[in-house]
Structure formats: C-alpha cells, structure tokens
Amino acid sequence: MGRIDEHPTVIKVRAAAKVCSPVSLTSEALRKLCLDCLDCGADDAGLVSIDRPELDDQRADIMSFAPWTKTLLAFVCRMNREPIRSPARSVANLEFHYTGDHVNDVARRVAAGLGQMGIHRNVIHPKFGNFILLGTILIGETVAEESQPIDYNPCLECRLCVAACPVGAISTNGDFNFSACYTHNYREFMGGFVDLTEQIAASGSRNELRAKVSDSESASMWQSLSFGANYKAAYCLAVCPAGEDVIAPWLENRKQFTEETLRPLQDKAEIIYAVPGSDAAEHVQRRFPHKTLRPVRGNLNVQTIDSFLKYMSLQFQPGQSKGLDAVYHFTFTGSEKRMATVTIRDQKLQVEEGHCGKANLRITADGKTWLKFLSREANLAWALVTLRIRMLGSPLWLVRFGKCFPS
C-alpha cells in the first residue's frame, strides 16, 4: 500500500474540507427548515440553540451521544382528542402509538417556543393544547435566529387534572408525586415487567400467581411488550381543556364538559397500582374506593449511590413525612465514596453534598451493601452485625426515614 496521503479518497476528502467552513443558518434558511418539517407532517416546529440556559440540565446527555449538536429542531404532532378522552384506555393507547412515541424532554420544547408546562407536567401547545406528541432533530449547524418561548402559560389552572388523577400525583398547589404517576401509569413499561417477573419467580404455583396477577393483567402486559407499551391512565391529558382548538366546549358549558369528560374516568372501575404505604395508596382508598387497589413494588430501583441520592426526590412521599423534622448524615464507603446530608422538614426533602448542620442520625455504610439493603437483597440486622452499615443515633430515625420512601 502506498502512502495514505496519496490515496484518491483521502485527497478528495481533504480538498472538500478546505472549502468547507462553519455554517450559520440564515433567517430564510431557518424558515425553510421549519416549513420542510411541516411539509413532512408536523403541525408546528421551532429551533433552539444548544447553548440556551433552558437546556443546562440536558446538555451533557445530548452531547454524550451527539457531540456535534449545535441546534435542536423541535416539532409537534397533533393527536386526536376523542380517543385520548375515552375511558377505554386501549383506544387511547392506539392514538398514542399511532401518532408516534414522544421523545426528548419538556425543556427542549419549552425553549423552542412550542408551549409551556402545565401543572400536570405535560407541555401545553397554545393552539393544540396538550393533545400533542413531540420530537427533536439534532442539527450540527448554528442558527442566526432561533425561536423564543411563548410569553404566557396556556395552562388554565382549572385543576381538572388534579381531580382526574387516580393516584393523586398532582396536588392542588402544583406539587407532583413522580413515583405515584410512574408506578401506575407506566406499569406496563420495563419497571412493571421486572416486578411481574419477580412475582412469577416468587409464586409456588399457578393458583398462587393468579391470586396476585389476574389473567387480564398478564394479557395486557403481553400486549404491551409485543406491540407497544400501554399507559394505564394519562387522564390528566384527557381532561385538559387548554389550547385554542380545545377550550371552546369547556368555556361554553363547564358542567357538561365535566360530566362528559371527567366523570367517566372517575367512575371507571379499574385496577390501580400503588406501592403499599405510599401517598398514592392512601389516595386511592380515600378518593376512589370503587377502584381496585393492587399493591406492587416500586419501579425505581437504583443501582448506584449516585442514583440513590439523585433520584431520592422522585421517590419521596410528602404525606408519609408529615410531622417529621430530621437531618440525616450519610457517609458511603467502598468504590463510591460520598458524603451527603438529607433534611426532611415541613413535608419537603432537601439533599445536599457533604455533612451540613447537626444530624439526628448518622449512617456510615458500604455503598454496595446499602444498595442491596434498599433492594431487599441484604438484611439490615446482618449488615449492622458485620459493621457494613453503622448508625449513630436512635434507630427510630431510620424507621421514620424509611416510611418516607416506601418500596
């Protein structure tokens, strides 16, 4: 083989590179790009620079798999409202699957001017409301002019989503219980499937398994895995009246809108999945006693100490923490050395790096042992006897801590 510099392919590529220079899309090119997106079937589109502050918490993930990204083109695909509002969730899920799987996160769409987030944590488009699925195209060029966020929030704060949610994930003050929503609505996604396999493994007979999981539940899980994962509720989307194309029936007769849209979902007899001892379980029993509460394990199984600390807020149950005012100091040893402070006060959770303030309970633990304890693979008494976990303070503080994170 001769010198690589003399290879025809290398010569052509290097020659082309010399004449290429960084490109900044002009306003005209920007408009054409958005129009092209609409021509391909999207209902709205907008562009946003990768450097926008709204993407600060997402930028690292984007750049890890597409380091050349300079601009994001976000687009909206409108869904048909009536299937989404049907009490038959199989009909609603067909619409979800038909329109296409939603991708990327809220921040990218809000930054691109396609809407604002409502109290139900869904993006509300000013025209189409929340009956949309969204996608993002990564572009390796900069833009001379980018889309800006809309200057108002289409959310009406009508609280219909609060009334519709079967697990009480949306509170009247706007707080959101992630684990309540995730455990039920996403039951037939990967987390729920893992829990199902564990139930199968733990069952001694067919009858014992059927006492835990009905035939219809098994069939529904099979359909989700073979065709497309089904959402168990998404009622917050169904009842939302926001958006120029959506709001008219609600404005004309709010009582009728409530009776036709909200009431059938509230009255529906169905299985609701919740972790025992969670705020969601209490909500179902108190608010929807005609619905069947199915106790399940939580789906948020952490694999690292970093994820334990990072996702603690997603599993925190404010209602279970009522009356607790405590500070916990964690020191993790082993391959993941970390120090952290967890404060629970006024039904709020705060996680900080390092040790801050005076602790009611100090916990020093081998990281791997702590994770096994969380996943019920290691016994706490054994861990204490072998000094893999050590505590300074009353064990009752750990009991109260655990009640805030039922699993």
Average pLDDT of the segment spanning 288-304: 89
Domain spans in the chain, listed from the N-terminal domain onward: 18-80+101-143, 160-295, 305-403
pLDDT level of residue 333 (50, 70, 90 thresholds): very high
Rounded Cα distance between 231 and 122, Å, is 14
Rounded Cα distance between 319 and 175, Å, is 12
Average pLDDT of the residues of the chain: 86
Instruction: Give per-residue pLDDT as tens, 334-382.
Output: 999 999 999 999 999 999 999 999 999 999 999 999 999 988 888 999 9
Which residue would you say has higher pLDDT here, 371 or 194? 371
> What per-residue string of b and e applies to 170-187 under the rule 16 or more CB within 10 Å gives b?
bbeeeeebebbbbbbbbb
pLDDT level of residue 1 (50, 70, 90 thresholds): very low
Which residue would you say has higher pLDDT here, 319 or 225? 319
Q: Residue 275: its pLDDT value, please?
A: 95
CA distances from 105 to 55, 59, 121, 289 (A): 10, 11, 11, 34
Residues for the chain: how many in total?
A: 407
Instruction: Give per-residue pLDDT as tens, 4-40.
Output: 777 676 677 677 766 555 556 666 776 677 777 777 7
Spatial contact of 360 and 397, defined as CB atoms under 8 Å apart? yes
Q: Is pLDDT at 105 greater than 50 in this prediction?
A: no
Instruction: Give per-residue pLDDT as tens, 252-271.
Output: 899 999 999 999 999 999 99
Rounded Cα distance between 72 and 113, Å, is 12
3-state secondary structure at position 77: strand
- Quote the CATH superfamily of domain 305-403: SCP2 sterol-binding domain (3.30.1050.10)
Q: Residue 98: its pLDDT value, please?
A: 63
3-state secondary structure at position 149: coil
pLDDT level of residue 108 (50, 70, 90 thresholds): very low
CA distances from 290 to 270, 271, 274, 287, 378 (A): 8, 10, 15, 9, 38
Q: Residue 96: its pLDDT value, please?
A: 79
Q: Residue 19: its pLDDT value, please?
A: 56
Q: Confirm whether pTM is higher than 0.85.
A: no
Rounded Cα distance between 220 and 187, Å, is 10
3-state secondary structure at position 213: coil
Average pLDDT of the segment spanning 161-167: 96
Other CB atoms within 10 Å distance of the CB of residue 386:
11
Average pLDDT of the segment spanning 172-176: 88
Q: Which residues contact 8 (CB under 8 A, 6 or more apart)?
A: none
Q: Where are the beta strands (DSSP E) in 140-264?
A: 142-143
pLDDT level of residue 111 (50, 70, 90 thresholds): low
Q: Which residues contact 348 (CB under 8 A, 6 or more apart)?
A: 318
